[in-house]
Chains A and B, each alone.
Chain A
């Protein structure tokens, strides 16, 4: 890849990073806190491309007699491995395909990542009280629902169906990027909607139940949720649960 092509690729990769960072696209892949880094890196790459063009022009304008030397130099730059071409792959993936956030496929292959919460603060007011799925699962699994009582609770997540057809509501929890995303699963019982499509987002209202199973993948606890009402929900702006990051 010669210097001109390198410049174009740099500029496009930088532009793609800025595009992903300034829309909500980056939230499908990395944690929200990385936004300044993503945008900053994109800007630096674009500036590097523009600077290359600028210095190249300056050089060809002022020192035409150095042309031979430049060619000699280029021969060495040319010997950069062709592996640089691979940089067009994430470019295409990000711009043309923009793959969705991890969903039920990954969730069922990975064990539930539920950890014991540090404390069980009293529930906020409201009926139904809105809890994050991870918060509900932590209270249900490790506090045996004591802090939940018989309050009506609303949780949001996406649907996953395992090989036996058991329905789960899942939220992927993320620490840095989607490569380390891990699911927190809640089993569903009660008024389960008749048709469940994997990866659709639902807001479920219901109550705590003491039913629980062990995740077949890592023996982690999967608490259950007794549904009284289900309705479709929009995909949240940040599809991952990042409560462990704060």
Chain B
């Protein structure tokens, strides 16, 4: 159960109810502590490893597990990179730096922050914790969100991969850059007009007060990895289920109608949750689809997918993610159709 769901609207993140079981545990003499549970779980799993291996030996289960482990092993390094950057921002960069670095008017700060996304080399798993740290450091949420959406799509590594995957079609790289930046800025401006601060309720972050800089840094790293990592696992399970269970032949049914094909690939990007450094190669192999539909795949994927939705819930709270994700999806599709019509 998530805490943010139960919290009354408008309440601060820190003053909501304490979890009943933990509070009662303090009162009673016998505590069902998590280290104890963990130890029992570890012993149980090691003892049962034979039956477990037998249970997962069917091809569909093996394929599921391989994709599941692959998504986690691939995303975790980028998550750790993002978490380290976010801890550095939180502990060593004073809030006044961002006030000076970004234009004072949020309407101008949005495109500046969107362009700044180009310097974060990595995939989308890195940008979520960094954007969370920016918000906590007092950066206008509209600007931080533009950064969150643009960083995974327009950085040099991803654009280079796109150029390699689409040899002879350099307009695809330009279209991806323009459409992603456009959608990111549009979402920033939309948030600035319509967004409400009480939607944005980051779950409690460990208080750094009274800690040295080193302790605060590692405490932030630990907290963010445990938190976002758990949600990453949820996303990886969803992506593995799709890859292992849903047949790819369904896709070819959607390729003939231009409207359906754009929507189909946009939804596919959300479900597959592929790293933004690799999605261009998958898009290139979807040869039965139009270039505009494949552009939608490339623009939607880095901005919103199952894994990202889970991680955004972890970083910004559920009421934010439930509103932000559908709006991002619509904006990204609209932006790719627009740019696709002009450039492709």
Q: Which residues of A contact B (CB under 8 A)?
A: 1-10, 13, 17, 20, 26, 28-30, 34, 37-38, 40-41, 44-45, 47-49, 51-52, 55, 58-59, 66, 69, 73, 75-90, 92-94, 96-97, 99-106, 109-111, 113, 115, 118, 175-180, 182, 216-220, 244
Contacts and interface: CB of A to CB of B under 8 A. Distances in A.
9 contacts: A29-B69, A29-B74, A51-B214, A83-B314, A88-B38, A96-B52, A175-B278, A176-B277, A179-B70
A113 B65 CA distance: 22
A52 B74 contact: no
B34 A99 contact: no
B49 A76 contact: no
Contacts of A106: 63, 243-244
Contact of A52 (B1, B222, B237): B222
B14 interface: yes
B253 to A, nearest CB: 12
Given A96-B53, A115-B285, A28 B66 contact: yes
Contacts of A84: 226-227, 229-230
Which of under 10, 10 to 19, 20 to 34, or 35 or more describes the interface residues of B? 35 or more
Contacts of B3: 79, 81
Given A8-B35, A105-B63, A55 B278 contact: no
B206 A76 contact: yes
Nearest to A58: B215
Given A79-B204, A105-B62, A217-B248, A48 B37 contact: no
Contacts of A105: 59-60, 62-63
Contacts, number: 253
Interface string B179-216: 00000000000000000000000011011001110110
Contacts of A37: 77-78, 81
Interface string B107-119: 0000000000000
A89 B214 contact: no
Contacts of B2: 81
B223 interface: yes
Nearest to A8: B38
Given A80-B226, A111-B248, A52 B219 contact: yes
List the 6 closest pairs (A to B, CB-CB), nearest first: A176-B278, A178-B70, A83-B230, A177-B74, A105-B59, A37-B77
Contacts of B284: 115
A180 to B, nearest CB: 5
Contacts of A178: 66-67, 69-70
Given A55-B218, A105-B60, A76 B207 contact: yes
Contacts of A115: 284-285
Interface stretch (B257-265, B267-275, B324-332, B333-341): B267-275
Contacts of B69: 29, 90, 93-94, 99, 178
Nearest to B236: A90
Interface in B161-178: 161, 164-165, 167
